[in-house]
């Protein structure tokens, strides 16, 4: 059965980011747990820094050697310049000294850059939050080896939240963008607000044939924490035409019917409908179904008027 007015979902952050290390290595430690609130710059995880530390020491040693060579080349160039200025030094010796100094200066700049790069690589062994957020998922475990750029942790901004539900593809095609929903906490329906569609994913899930919808909340009650289970109902009339699965349609004596479930008595009764089009999988109604009504979508040929049925309230909508 399909319920075209009530949906189950949850509260999610509108903005999420997935972070990873900029260098490869083995995860030494995860510093925060799922659900932890972190500030910009907080340490999230670290890699084993042994390789990076060894590289820093090596580059620093290279830099010290090159600096010593540059100091010697600078002293020699100064001495040759003084000798040349006094008229006791040869031009050729001065040229060689100046060339050596130029080469040493270039090597010094390269060594400085290599040392800085090594220090940067060491800093990359720490993964830090780039904004205030809540940790919503770890994708790796301590001890696991990761590659540079591999997804490690998901962060969600807690300041802007939205309702997320899955809509039947047929309904998603028909919903006007200004349709209004009521969003209520499943634990306490008195905690509620209204919402409108922000976006609907263009592709339907192949298994469930639903499309994910994200709803902008008019207000965000304090009880609407990330992950809060919600019930979402249509609170405005849908005038768009409805597409239903072909198994919901029954042809009897030239009449086309669907079966509607009475939620109070949990019985079914047929209803004559007019259809606009049909194909092997579905058909489009010109009228006959209102928002919130449940339509039997399978086994209609075995039903009788007034027959009691079992209604699954949390079945796909």
pLDDT higher than threshold 70 for residue 3: no
pLDDT at 276: 67
Instruction: Determine what percent of the chain is predicted with pLDDT higher than 90.
Output: 62
Does this model's pTM top 0.85? no
pLDDT digits (tens, 9 = 90+) for 240-293: 567 788 999 998 877 889 999 998 899 999 998 887 667 888 887 766 677 678
pLDDT higher than threshold 80 for residue 176: no
Tell me phi and psi for residue 228, to 5 degrees: -60, 130
Instruction: Determine what percent of the chain is predicted with pLDDT higher than 70.
Output: 92
Average pLDDT across the chain, whole number: 89
Residue-range domains of the chain with CATH: 2-13+160-234 (2.40.30.170), 16-48+126-156 (2.40.50.100), 50-123 (1.10.287), 242-308 (2.40.420.20)
pLDDT at 310: 80
Spatial CB neighbours of 245, under 8 Å, sequence gap ≥ 6? 2, 170, 281, 282, 297, 298
Q: What is the mean predicted confidence (pLDDT) over 81-105?
A: 92
Residue 70 token pair: 């540059």
């Amino acid at each position: 059965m399909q319920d075209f007015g009530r949906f189950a979902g949850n509260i999610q952050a509108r903005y999420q980011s997935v972070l990873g290390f900029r260098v490869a290595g083995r995860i030494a430690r995860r510093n925060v747990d799922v659900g932890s609130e972190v500030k910009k710059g907080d340490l999230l995880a670290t890699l084993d820094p042994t390789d990076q530390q060894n590289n820093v020491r090596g580059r620093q040693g290279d830099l010290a050697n090159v600096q010593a060579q540059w100091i010697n080349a600078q002293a020699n160039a100064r001495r040759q310049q003084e000798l040349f200025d006094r008229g006791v030094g040869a031009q050729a010796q001065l040229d060689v000294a100046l060339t050596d100094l130029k080469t040493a200066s270039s090597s010094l700049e390269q060594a400085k850059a290599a040392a800085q790069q090594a220090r940067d690589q060491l800093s990359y062994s720490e993964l830090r939050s780039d904004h205030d957020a809540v940790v919503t998922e770890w994708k790796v475990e301590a001890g696991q080896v990761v590659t540079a750029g591999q997804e490690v942790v998901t962060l969600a901004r807690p300041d802007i939240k939205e309702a997320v539900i899955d809509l039947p593809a047929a309904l998603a095609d028909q919903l006007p963008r200004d349709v209004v929903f009521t969003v209520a906490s499943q634990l306490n329906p008195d905690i509620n607000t209204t919402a409108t569609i922000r976006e609907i994913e263009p592709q339907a899930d192949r298994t469930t044939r639903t499309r994910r919808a994200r709803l902008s909340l008019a207000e965000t009650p304090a009880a609407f924490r990330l992950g809060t289970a919600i019930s979402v109902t249509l609170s405005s009339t849908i005038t768009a035409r409805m597409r239903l699965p072909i198994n919901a349609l029954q042809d009897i004596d030239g009449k086309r019917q669907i079966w509607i479930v009475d939620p109070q008595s949990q019985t079914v009764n047929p209803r004559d409908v007019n259809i606009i089009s049909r194909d092997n999988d579905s058909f489009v109604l010109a009228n006959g179904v209102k928002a919130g009504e449940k339509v039997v979508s399978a086994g209609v040929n075995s039903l009788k008027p007034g027959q009691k049925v079992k209604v699954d309230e949390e079945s796909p909508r």
